[in-house]
Structure 1
């Protein structure tokens, strides 16, 4: 028996590592043919031979059009687009940044996290309309809640939620647009180069206490063990599947470990000002 995506073709931005790579592998297991766009030429190398890898920057319309064209040349069509490439701000508060730092980091983070999504859709919508395909965006718990990052990251992910809803309207009835709001996971997600955070990784948040040796996962209800990228891929399959979500658009599935039921960690974030 074939998988839920048997015969489909998917393009995933930021597919060389983290949740993008995990989705690529899951889509392969579900019967899809997969292409990934990643700006790091070294990272996609450990993907299976059948995966088409394209090097490029999601802030470049030319790179994204080339990725779509290369995918269609190789596989004959495009059914699924996963706008996924992103960076995090490592909870940098506005009170810890200068105006110049904020300006530079805003341009970099919004360029990748928001403009990169919009440009990917612009490059792909014609092919997706031809196949009556779908878009599955990687959103975040920060698309709905505060303190999933700093002011820049939270604003960018709220923007992506609005973008998803508008695109679901603009592209109906031929293209479905949905999203998965993931929580923190053990990945190499980096920060803005403009803030010197491009060498940090989100995986450090799950590091063990050197003194006790005990794990220190975030304070999230279901995060006693499920912090690997592959644990988050199921909703991406569901939303991409024509047979199982043909009537779903403009929807977001939370896959954040239950952040909405966690309760308050602290009363306010600025008590030390």
Structure 2
């Protein structure tokens, strides 16, 4: 198995869940420190690999490592991503827009295409699975800024198109988290630092009234990796948004008491 964006957040939690289920994982990230601590926690089940997912060579190296270390590749999890800090289009200076677009789309969209292309032969041979991390913003506005929302909508299209192109040999699906306590890297071209995904008061606007942990998403990723349980599922993006998409106008949920 290969999982990108493994150094922190949902990716790190999912690696731990996969290892608990008996998987062996090539954990990919640019954060060498995060990878080292993850490998220490998970032992020999995790092979850390610090590469840039935006490069063809980095993705080839990840596949080569999986095949060499594990004898093959059956699951590819495309999880690496960055945010635009919910920056509206009109708040981005025109001269900065092209560079910001290219940087964000390179990580959020291109990297996934590169990963699947590099892994295609190995996944076809194993009749494996691809799982991509989408977002609430894959379906709705205001889950980020213009660039982030566009990239996550694009990723939904990638999931559907690749599910078609790789059928019947490889299943391609995604998970679309809504809220998770993570710190995402911003766009360097805009001078953005890492930012918290959860703001004060977030729980109160969710129908389920609780911010889920990063660990709570692990079961969905193991479900889609397991052909016994989800061998009939492809081209699907599972929404896991704590009910954000069904919020009411007056209050988050029918039985939620508001002041």
**Equivalent position SS for 1:135:** strand
Contact 2:4 2:29 (C-alpha < 8 Å) held by counterparts:
yes
Please give the residue correspondences for 1:1-273 in structure 2 after superposition, counting only pairs within 5 Å: 10-47=1-38, 48-50=42-44, 51-197=46-192, 199-203=193-197, 205-206=198-199, 216-217=202-203, 219-226=205-212, 228-264=213-249
Alpha-carbon distance change, 218 to 141 in structure 1, aligned in 2, over 3 angstroms: farther
In the alignment, the residues of structure 2 paired with residue 118 and residue 218 of structure 1 have an alpha-carbon distance, to the nearest angstrom, of: 37
Unaligned runs of 5+ in 2: 251-259
After superposition, the C-alpha distances for 1:95-125 in whole angstroms (9 at most, x for unaligned) are 1111122111100000000001100101111
In the alignment, the residues of structure 2 paired with residue 200 and residue 41 of structure 1 have an alpha-carbon distance, to the nearest angstrom, of: 17
* Structure with greater helix share of residues: 2
Contact 2:18 2:222 (C-alpha < 8 Å) held by counterparts:
yes
Unaligned runs of 5+ in 1: 1-9, 208-214, 266-273
Contact 1:87 1:190 (C-alpha < 8 Å) held by counterparts:
yes
- Count of matched residue pairs: 246
Contact 1:35 1:52 (C-alpha < 8 Å) held by counterparts:
yes
**Equivalent position SS for 1:59:** coil
TM-score by length of 2: 0.91
In the alignment, the residues of structure 1 paired with residue 202 and residue 156 of structure 2 have an alpha-carbon distance, to the nearest angstrom, of: 30
